[in-house]
Amino acid sequence: MKTDVAEKILPGGECVVRVDGKPVLVTNAVPGDVLKLNMQGKRRGVLRGDIVEIIRPSEQRVNAPCPVAAQCGGCAMQFISVEDQAAVKSAWVMDAFKSLIDSDTEWIPVHPHHNRYRRRVRWFVGYDDGEPFLGFYAPASHQLVRHADCMVVSPELNAVRQLIEKTVNLQDVDSVQAVHLDDGIHIIMEADIRPECAGEDLLEGVPLRWWWRNDRRITRPFRKQATLFHDVLPAGEMEIQLAVGPDDFVQGQQQGNRELIRQIQDWTGSVARIADLFCGIGNLSLPLAAATGAQVFGAELNAASVRAASANAKALGIDSSFVVANLFEDFDMEPYIGADVLILDPPRRGAKRLCNQISRLLPKKIIMISCDPAAGARDGTLLTQHGFKLKALRVLDLFPYAGHVETMSLWEPE
């Protein structure tokens, strides 16, 4: 057993505790805690430990609002307040980007929000006394934790989970995904063979669509007629609808996504040509195009997302071209050269290759969305090497209580 003081929370939500001069990562620790640890050895090249006893709690430590917070791995920051979470997450981004910020950079830290729910969830199937249930994994474990009512997902999704547990045979199901949109909920049963499904189409007035995704990642409807649901998004003074299918990606938190879209429109102003790389279903570019009348040229590796973006643009009457392209390798850059704004929304690994070639694209502005502060700052450093300057930096917390943060950065030529 080791005793020491927790120092700081790192991106991801684990806390550094220095034991015999060596950093140890600990789940559910709070800076200032005096802890007794059980050392677990190295995992992924880093020493880790578990809390055996909190000898003296930090002044920052609060009672977790979730009754199973200490067991569940879904939320890493349940033991500090929402306000302290906002400060910690803002500090992650400030620390990562500090060499790129100057006195002219607009800095917008996290604004703390209460009662913001996630609209996208994935439950795994576990067994309790032989009875199946849907839950989340414990930290660094395949042990599943049961929730009476998960506090971070929407009440409608909690009701969906209870419906599934009561009415669906989960015996051969591996996991269940659900996406709560403005006019309904997609429910995707992930299983090697088609499961038995009661498939109620309405829950407390909310339409449901049931899908089966097999081991080859092919998604099929349980019923022949399976309509799509929609995301309602701000587009200047109006709102638009984007159709969203069961395989389409949407940001996991609706209000935060709307803030992200509004910020893009505020930073961009009036434009004629938009380049949208890692475009998804057009979540970021199509509202901007609808508000400004601009053309959109987008690219994305996922073919289903490209089809969805094209269909959404057509439904909105937007002049656009969306194509399938691997943006981590060589691709045809010509359609994206000289855009009024280039929107980059890469996955967690960032957009290193693209940022290294930004002088070939020559956009008037770049707006980059980064879900990993370190990758975002690395990509930003590459942009500065190609003559761009960081004009504004905003931090958004799309996953309260989780150890994740979203970074928005605005870049213009020096």
pLDDT tens-digit map of 289-313: 999 999 999 999 999 999 999 999 9
In a domain, 227, yes or no: no
Residue pair 132/125 in contact by the 8 Å Cβ criterion? yes
Instruction: Kindly state whether residues 126 and 200 are assigned to the same domain.
Output: yes
Q: What is the pLDDT of residue 115?
A: 82
DSSP 8-state assignment for residue 118? B
Instruction: Kindly state whether residues 110 and 152 are assigned to the same domain.
Output: no
Instruction: Kindly state whether residues 104 and 125 are assigned to the same domain.
Output: no
Q: Which residues are catalytic?
A: 371
Total domains in the fold of the chain = 3
DSSP per-residue letters across 338-377: T-SEEEE---TT--HHHHHTHHHH--S-EEEEESSHHHHH
Residue ending a domain, choose from 221, 244, 270:
221
Instruction: Kindly state whether residues 269 and 405 are assigned to the same domain.
Output: yes
Residue ending a domain, choose from 221, 242, 273:
221
Residue 150 structural domain: 120-221
Q: Which residue has the tokens 């949109």?
A: 181
Mean pLDDT of the chain: 94
CATH code: domain of residue 212: 2.40.50.1070
Give the three-state DSSP class for 51: strand
Nearest alpha-carbon partner for 10 in 21, 26, 22: 26
In a domain, 22, yes or no: yes
- Quote the percentage of the chain above a pLDDT of 70: 99
In a domain, 294, yes or no: yes
Residue pair 278/369 in contact by the 8 Å Cβ criterion? no
pLDDT tens-digit map of 332-383: 999 999 999 999 999 999 999 999 999 999 999 999 999 999 999 999 999 9
Residue pair 207/230 in contact by the 8 Å Cβ criterion? no
Instruction: Kindly state whether residues 135 and 108 are assigned to the same domain.
Output: no
Instruction: Kindly state whether residues 287 and 348 are assigned to the same domain.
Output: yes
The answer on pLDDT for 166 being more than 80 is yes
One-letter identity of residue 313: A
Confidence category of residue 174, pLDDT binned at 50, 70, 90: very high
Instruction: Kindly state whether residues 314 and 341 are assigned to the same domain.
Output: yes
Instruction: Kindly state whether residues 269 and 284 are assigned to the same domain.
Output: yes
Instruction: Kindly state whether residues 267 and 381 are assigned to the same domain.
Output: yes
Instruction: Kindly state whether residues 109 and 128 are assigned to the same domain.
Output: no
